[in-house]
């Protein structure tokens, strides 16, 4: 059994002061993926004995960024999608293993007044093509903050958020299209009826205390691996970020 964890830490330096090392040890994942590390090279020295570390930094300081820590050394690791217009924000790491690819991804936020929605739509199309090109070689598992609550069950207040970033028809349709290309939302696959299970809460209005949240962090798994999905969890008991870690177990 392999255990995968994904966590948007909303600034790794802050998370380290807020319990990240303890949570990392407790979760004891074989592969641990981070998003929104908000780091440049050399800004943190984090000791993770037994893990190979891979980092992708945004050109803009204090912004975006991803990391992947793995006990098993990958066959290869690449950064970005190979598309210059999409690769300067440190959003993607691809690690190749013998039986599959694992990707950590931080999908662009469409932002207030949806000012970045057109860019987001272009990004989504490029992402789907990138995933499908990998899938031709071996199955894909990708995880991260996808910045979309897919269905109404994935958000506390669907009606009042319908035109807000992360719950627009356009963003949800792009995710639907990707899943229809041969992928599974692992949590929803194993927990089709579970309600009030969220991975992100606003820092405002005591949202986490009241569990007014969104499920926007996912493990998306190739349908070829469907029979190997043994567990999918949301660790909402773990604090340290406005997101909580999510888990996938594959045999």
- 31-47: average pLDDT: 96
Host H or E run for residue 159: none
Res 251: pLDDT: 96
The token duo for 174 is 């792009």
Q: Determine what percent of the chain is predicted with pLDDT higher than 70.
A: 100
Strand-strand pairing, 200-201 and 217-222: unpaired
Q: What average pLDDT does the chain have?
A: 98
Res 99: pLDDT: 97
The token duo for 246 is 């999510």
Res 217: pLDDT: 99
Strand-strand pairing, 2-8 and 31-35: parallel
**How far is the C-alpha of 247 from the C-alpha of 127, rounded, in Å?**
22
89-124 per-position pLDDT tens digit: 999 999 999 999 999 999 999 999 999 999 999 999
Res 88: pLDDT: 97
- When pLDDT is cut at 50, 70 and 90, the band that residue 74 belongs to is very high
- 181-205: average pLDDT: 97
Residues tagged active-site: 106, 145
This model's pTM is above 0.95:
yes
- Pick from 17, 58, 64, 59: nearest CA to 37: 64
Quick one: DSSP state of residue 123? H
Main-chain phi, psi angles of 221, to 5 degrees: -125, 135
């Amino acid at each position: 059994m392999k255990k995968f964890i994904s966590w948007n830490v909303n600034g790794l330096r802050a998370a380290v002061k807020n319990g990240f090392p303890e949570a990392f040890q407790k979760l004891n994942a074989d592969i641990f993926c981070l998003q929104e590390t908000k780091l440049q090279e050399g800004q943190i020295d984090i000791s993770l004995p037994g893990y190979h570390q891979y980092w992708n930094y945004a050109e803009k300081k204090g912004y975006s960024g991803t990391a992947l820590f793995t006990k098993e050394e990958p066959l290869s690791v690449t950064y970005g999608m190979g598309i210059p217009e999409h690769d300067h924000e440190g959003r993607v790491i691809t690690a190749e293993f013998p039986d599959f690819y694992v990707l950590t991804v931080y999908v662009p936020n469409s932002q207030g007044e949806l000012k970045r929605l057109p860019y987001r739509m272009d990004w989504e199309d490029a992402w789907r093509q990138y995933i499908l090109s990998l899938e031709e070689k071996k199955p894909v598992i990708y995880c991260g903050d996808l910045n979309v609550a897919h269905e109404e069950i994935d958000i506390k207040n669907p009606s009042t958020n319908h035109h807000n970033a992360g719950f627009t028809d356009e963003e949800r349709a792009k995710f639907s299209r990707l899943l229809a290309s041969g992928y599974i939302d692992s949590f929803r696959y194993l927990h089709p009826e579970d309600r009030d299970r969220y991975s992100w809460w606003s820092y405002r209005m005591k949202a986490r205390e009241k569990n007014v949240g969104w499920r926007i962090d996912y493990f998306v798994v190739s349908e070829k691996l469907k029979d190997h999905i043994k567990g999918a969890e949301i660790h909402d008991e773990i604090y340290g970020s406005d997101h909580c870690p999510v888990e996938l177990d594959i045999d």
